[in-house]
Homo-oligomer: A and B are copies of this chain.
């Protein structure tokens, strides 16, 4: 509840239009839907600009359907990440118009919604190798659903530097660049050294033993020799898309 709303509420009490009890109740009337096993934060879009996304892992099919329906009801659209193919089928039947992005393991329903009627801002999603595609696609699909225009540049790892240099002009046009890389995770630093936009680095869990399931690229990215690299969790394409969305859209949307 914003300070403005609070003042208004109190004024209504002062004017006798609202009893103190009703006002107290309204203050306590928190905007979430309680499904017992989950409390859906229906208020999040107002607060943060994006509706709550659903983390698909560790939920039963029945729970996923109940949550997705309730979210769809409230927002007209739903985003579910980390969703296995088999519950995805059931959800597609339950949610008319839903679509499952297999490589990204993401389900979307409802149309993506840009910040305004204006032209969408562009975000680039760069992947070091083919093995990083599932995470890169998660980032790309989520960003598109958030209303961003996404340009994909895959398999441009440092082992063949010219592949990266070939896409630099495109990267320079983006509002933010998401760079997905496993193994040594050196790509984000190289990108940050070549462009001025913010670089969002996503380590992936692919690679030989001493990559330690993503620890190696994570540390590399945190220590990137070129400043201006910000890092999200291992394999967290969704998180990177939210950061990109905040950079590109949120400020404009919420300042007014």
Interface residues of chain A, those whose CB is within 8 Å of chain B, are: 3, 6-7, 10-11, 13-14, 16, 19-21, 23-24, 27-28, 30-32, 36-39, 41, 43-44, 47-49, 52-53, 55, 57-59, 63, 128-131, 133, 154-163, 165-166, 169, 172-173, 175-176, 183-186, 189-190, 192-200, 203, 205-236, 238-239, 242-243, 245-247, 250-251, 253-255
New A-B contacts (5) at CB < 8 Å, excluding given A11-B20, A160-B193, A209-B236: A63-B130, A158-B226, A184-B220, A186-B220, A222-B233
Tell whether, in the assembled complex, residue B30 and residue A165 are in contact, meaning their CB atoms are under 8 Å apart.
yes
For A27, A129, A185, A210, which residue has the most chain B Cβ atoms within 10 angstroms? A210
Tell whether, in the assembled complex, residue A198 and residue B243 are in contact, meaning their CB atoms are under 8 Å apart.
yes
Residues of chain B lying within 8 A (CB to CB) of residue A184: 185-186, 189, 219-221, 223-225
A-B contact pairs, 10 of them (CB 8 A): A10-B10, A11-B20, A37-B130, A48-B192, A159-B226, A161-B190, A172-B254, A208-B239, A210-B214, A212-B219
**How many angstroms between the C-alpha atoms of A184 and B226 in the bound complex?**
9
Residues of chain B lying within 8 A (CB to CB) of residue A242: 227-228
**How many angstroms between the C-alpha atoms of A16 and B16 in the bound complex?**
9
Residues of chain B lying within 8 A (CB to CB) of residue A231: 222, 230-232
Tell whether, in the assembled complex, residue B211 and residue A223 are in contact, meaning their CB atoms are under 8 Å apart.
yes
**How many angstroms between the C-alpha atoms of A214 and B21 in the bound complex?**
44
**How many angstroms between the C-alpha atoms of A214 and B216 in the bound complex?**
12
Tell whether, in the assembled complex, residue A195 and residue B158 are in contact, meaning their CB atoms are under 8 Å apart.
no
Q: Distance (Å) between the CB of A135 and the closest chain B CB?
A: 10
Q: Contacting A218 at CB < 8 Å: which of B11, B210, B238, B250? A: B210
